[in-house]
Amino acid sequence: MNKLVISGSPHIHDHDSVSKIMYTVVLAMIPAMLASFWFFGFDSLRVMLVAVISALLMEWATQKFLLKGPLTINDGSAVVSGILLAFNLPAGIPSWMVVAGAFVMIGVAKMTFGGLGKNPFNPALVGRVFMLISFPVEMTKWPVPRPLFATRLADAITGPTALGLFKEGVDAGQSAQTMLHASQMPTEIARFFGEMGGSLGEVSAIAILLGGAYMVYKKVIDWQLPLSILLTAFLFSGLFYLINPAVYAPPMFHLLTGGLILGAVFMATDMVTSPMTIKGKVVFGVGIGLLTVTIRLWGSYPEGISFAILIMNAFTPLINKAFKPKRFGSDVLKTAKI
């Protein structure tokens, strides 16, 4: 007879695994990938492929030559990070910059800390902010979306994002109303389906929400976190809209433009870098919502979600300390229920 195995209890497992979780996320990103392909064509494919391949390459290389630990590139986390990095980039970005961003993402933000699960900051966002600051020109050139089957022009035309357009106009002294109805401004419907300038993954709200719903259904993410972000951003920007509609954009505009939904659904929910308890997640989400709107309204960057998530990532350990799960035995009811 073969040797019996001795191990501590429990002796069964629910057979979920890290890679299953990660590939669920990949699956959830497919609608957004399709949307980006629809609007930005083969450039979107190029950017996504380059990001994923260089992320995998970097992960493999660091594990093989520097950490000398087990190789775990097939756990899917680098694929998720790679796609999310691509989602945060404009379609026209040169490939070498994507490679640099992916290397920083995996090399600096992830493997330096020991790899999956140990990084305090969201790798894809570190990669993205790194690129934003390093390559400001290319990172702020947004190709105008053209649905795949529409007649294509010879070379890509770039235009501003809705947020950039608005901010620029208001800063230049135009009223908010004029800007909202400016000819370049995408309509509400376009914003919802994603026919507007922006990074690959952020343009189509509906596609992202679809993916988010799938992840909630699969219990990969908790709905409280994205909801708290969106709600806070809505209320906070709405407050200022009520105070002075001539300067501030309406809350729906804030929700549907920029990467707010992308960040809320796919990036803030990264379990590695977000708090552990639901209460903590809500605090985290409220923080992100406030910071995002603050940066959008008063900061120099038209878009604030990346920074907001990174800053709240820094708060995550403190939040984890402050919002422990409710310990059993902490609220002692003396009265019987039955």
Partner 1 sequence: MAGKKESNFINMFTSLLVISFVAGISLGSVYNLTKAPIAAAAAKKMEDALRLVLPDFDSIQPIKLKSAFEPDSLLVFQGFQNGQLTGWAVKTWSKKGFGGEVNLIAGFKPDGSIKNISVLDHKETPGLGDKMQASKSDWYRQFLDKNPADFRLKVKKDGGDVDAITAATISSRAFTEAVDRAWQTIENAKKEGGNE
Partner 2 sequence: MNDILLFTLLTLCLLAIVLAVVLYFVAQKFKVIEDPKIDLVEDVLPKANCGGCGFPGCRNFAEVTVKAANENNSLGDLNCPVGGNEVMKQVASILGLEVQEKDPLIAVVRCNGSFAHSPAKVRFDGPASCAFAHQLFAGEGGCQYGCLGLGDCVASCIFDAIHMDATTGLPVVNDLCTACGACVKACPRGIIELRSKGKKDRRIFVSCINKEKGGPAKKNCEAACIGCSKCQQVCPHDAIVMANNLAYIDFVKCKLCRKCVEVCPTDAIHEINFPPRKPKLEYTETNTQPPGGHDRLEKVQPVQNKTVDIE
Partner 3 sequence: MNQIQNFTKGLLKENPILVQVLGTCPTLGVTTSAFNGLGMGLATTFVLTMSNIVISLVRDFIPDKVRIPAFIVIIASFVTVVELVMQGFLPALYEQLGLFIPLIVVNCIVLGRAEAFASKNKPFSSMIDGLGMGFGFALALTVLGSIREFLGSGAVFNVKIIPGDLMLVFILAPGAFIALGYLIAITRKLKDHI
Identify what 183 binds: partner 1, partner 3, partner 2, none; CB under 5 to 8 Å per kind: none
Dist. CA 241–CA 254, nearest whole Å: 11
Question: What's the min distance (Å) between Cβ of 97 and partner 3?
Answer: 9
Burial 285-314 (b: 16+ CB within 10 A, else e): bbbbbbbbbebbbeeebbbbbbbbbbbbbe
Binding site for ligand RBF (CB under 6 A): 21-22, 25, 77, 80-81, 84, 110, 116-117, 119, 122-124, 220-221, 266-267, 269-273
Dist. CA 103–CA 62, nearest whole Å: 10
User: How many residues in the shown chain lie near ligand FMN by CB under 6 A?
Assistant: 8
What are the E-state strand segments in 22-156?
A: 142-143
Which of 94, 114, 120, 136 contacts partner 3 by CB under 8 A?
Answer: 136
Which of 168, 188, 217, 321 contacts ligand FMN by CB under 6 A?
Answer: 168
Q: How far apart are the first and last CA of the chain?
A: 53
Q: Is 61 in the site for partner 3 (CB under 8 A)?
A: no
Q: Is 174 in the site for ligand FMN (CB under 6 A)?
A: no
Sequence letter at residue 99: V
Dist. CA 188–CA 124, nearest whole Å: 28
Dist. CA 291–CA 308, nearest whole Å: 5
- φ/ψ (deg, to 5) at 295: -65, -40
Among candidates 212, 253, 338, 235, which has minimal Cα distance to 289?
235
Question: What's the min distance (Å) between Cβ of 329 and ligand RBF?
Answer: 32
Question: What's the min distance (Å) between Cβ of 18 and partner 2?
Answer: 13
Q: Which is nearer to partner 3, 94 or 317 (CB)?
A: 94
Question: What's the min distance (Å) between Cβ of 244 and partner 2?
Answer: 54
Among candidates 266, 197, 195, 196, which has minimal Cα distance to 229?
266
Identify what 110 binds: partner 2, partner 1, ligand RBF, none; CB under 5 to 8 Å per kind: ligand RBF
Sequence letter at residue 246: A
Identify what 300 binds: ligand RBF, partner 1, partner 3, none; CB under 5 to 8 Å per kind: partner 1
Which of 82, 90, 127, 164 contacts ligand FMN by CB under 6 A?
Answer: 164
Question: What's the min distance (Å) between Cβ of 2 and partner 2?
Answer: 9
Which of 57, 61, 99, 100 contacts partner 3 by CB under 8 A?
Answer: 100
Longest dimension (CA), the chain: 84
Q: Which is nearer to partner 1, 130 or 223 (CB)?
A: 130
Q: Is 157 in the site for partner 1 (CB under 8 A)?
A: no
Q: Is 182 in the site for partner 1 (CB under 8 A)?
A: no
CA 160 to chain centre: 20
Q: How far is CA 279 from CA 217, 239, 274, 312, 323, in A?
A: 20, 24, 12, 14, 7
Identify what 171 binds: partner 2, partner 3, partner 1, none; CB under 5 to 8 Å per kind: partner 1
Q: Is 120 in the site for ligand FMN (CB under 6 A)?
A: no
- Torsion over CA: 36, 252, 213, 277 (sign): positive
Dist. CA 145–CA 203, nearest whole Å: 9
Identify what 130 binds: ligand RBF, partner 3, partner 2, none; CB under 5 to 8 Å per kind: partner 3
| Residue 125-154 contact track with ligand FMN, rule CB under 6 A, x = bound | -------x---x---x--------------
Where on the chain is the footprint of partner 1 (CB under 8 A)? Answer: 134-137, 140-141, 168, 171-172, 300
